[in-house]
Structure 1
Amino acid sequence: MMTAVNLGARVTGWGFVIFTIGSIAWTVVGLGSGQVSLIAANGFLTFVNLVGIWRWLGRQRAYEDGGRSAKAASRRASSPTLFTATGIAGMAVLDGEGTPLGKAVDALIECRSGAVSYVVVATTATAGIAEQLRAVSREAIVFECDQLVLRMPRHAFEAIPPINPVSWPTSI
């Protein structure tokens, strides 16, 4: 669960630590019982898990910490307030009246200009069932530090046709 839910680099990295302990333990069992297949399989898994630890507790954690530090420092500085682009995913989305609508899934950025073209917003019914994705143009969004606010009421957002979850538009 620690690696599957992707709660950030530290949690995912510690999930790989747990995997590594398990694969080492199974390798020891294989050595004690003479099971070559168990030794080989878990030796390989130990290697894979060590790469996971390096990636998630080393490099990726450093990236996340760097982004977090810039975000925090920008709130105290006279420079514009920042948030990380990766931080858009999961950010709360509110309608023009401040009522929660859902969460941001991703932002699509234009290659030439570097400007955000649109943000994909997920809304769900009860208990996360029947998720719908809608593409909202950049002009209709106010980027705040911890949330996105749409420049439209709920009924206008709901009038935007849902997009195909596996085939997003090239423009809106």
Structure 2
Amino acid sequence: MLSIAGWIAPAATMIAAIMTAANLGARVTGWGFAVFSVGALAWIIVAAATGQQNLLWSNAFLLLVDIVGVWRWLGRRARYDMAAEQASARSAETAAPTLFALAGLEGMPVRSGTGEIVATSVDAMASCDEGRIVYLVVREGGVGGVGERLHALGWDEIQVQDGAMVSRLSPALLARRPTLAPGQWPATAAAAGVG
């Protein structure tokens, strides 16, 4: 049992770290915390069998944190996401404008008119006065955040369709857009080069 726990503990911890760090959505993050829980339990077994009190108490605490993470991401956040999906589906069946959840913007692909992914949404900047999205920040290029380029797209350049945003921009047109500094996003649509 100790030998099995000794292998499960680091493997589960590493897999869970990748799952949560990847930020692939509420469900993957929630399952990452569930895998972290398995790792913490295995570390507790190793610690108890080898008399390592510091390892035991630190992983007992981490197990509590992991349980909160599972509740937060697979419980509460999943319910919010499901409610948003249902509201979106019901709105599509009415004459009113179709709704989508703003929480889903981060990580949403931006496709060209031909369906090719040209960028991925990072965030959106909205007007406090008018309550509308002014511009969207997207990333393209790079791997794992290294070498990526950030651009602003005007909200009027985007249509949301079937879980993705569609733009008339091709990868070549997007690449010719000015890039945004990662820590210095524009304060206005004009400064972002949109609108």
Does TM, normalized by the shorter one, top 0.5?
yes
Instruction: Summarize the alignment of residues 24-43 of structure 1 with structure 2, pairs less than 5 Å apart.
Output: 24-43=41-60
Take 1:10 and 1:142, find their aligned partners in 2: how far apart are those partners? 26
1:48 corresponds in structure 2 to 65
1:85 corresponds in structure 2 to 102
**What is the TM-score when the length of structure 2 is the normalising length?**
0.75
Take 1:152 and 1:33, find their aligned partners in 2: how far apart are those partners? 60
Where structure 2 has 5 or more consecutive residues not aligned to the other structure, the ranges are 1-17, 190-195
- Structure 1: which amino acid aligns with 2:42? A
Structure 1 position 117 matched with structure 2 position 134: yes
The structure richer in helix per residue is 2
- Structure 2: which amino acid aligns with 1:41? S
Take 1:97 and 1:37, find their aligned partners in 2: how far apart are those partners? 57
- Structure 1: which amino acid aligns with 2:178? P
1:92–1:147 contact (8 Å) kept in structure 2:
yes
CA gap of 1:113–1:5, structure 2 versus 1, over 3 A, is same
Take 1:52 and 1:28, find their aligned partners in 2: how far apart are those partners? 21
Deviation of 1:133 (Å): 0.9
Where structure 1 has 5 or more consecutive residues not aligned to the other structure, the ranges are none
- Structure 2: which amino acid aligns with 1:5? A
CA gap of 1:39–1:127, structure 2 versus 1, over 3 A, is closer
Tell me whether 92-101 or 63-72 shows the greater mean CA deviation: 92-101
User: Which of residues 2, 11, 15 is equivalent to 2:32?
Assistant: 15
Structure 1 position 140 matched with structure 2 position 151: no
CA gap of 1:86–1:34, structure 2 versus 1, over 3 A, is same
1:65 corresponds in structure 2 to 82
Take 1:152 and 1:167, find their aligned partners in 2: how far apart are those partners? 23
**What is the TM-score when the length of structure 1 is the normalising length?**
0.83
Deviation of 1:154 (Å): 6.1
Take 2:53 and 2:171, find their aligned partners in 1: how far apart are those partners? 61
2:15 corresponds in structure 1 to none
Alignment RMSD (CA, Å): 2.6
2:151–2:179 contact (8 Å) kept in structure 1:
yes
2:23 corresponds in structure 1 to 6
The count of corresponding residues between Structure 1 and Structure 2 is: 172
Deviation of 1:46 (Å): 1.0
2:112–2:167 contact (8 Å) kept in structure 1:
yes
Q: How much identity, in percent, do the aligned residues show?
A: 39
1:30–1:39 contact (8 Å) kept in structure 2:
yes
Deviation of 1:42 (Å): 1.0
CA gap of 1:98–1:54, structure 2 versus 1, over 3 A, is closer
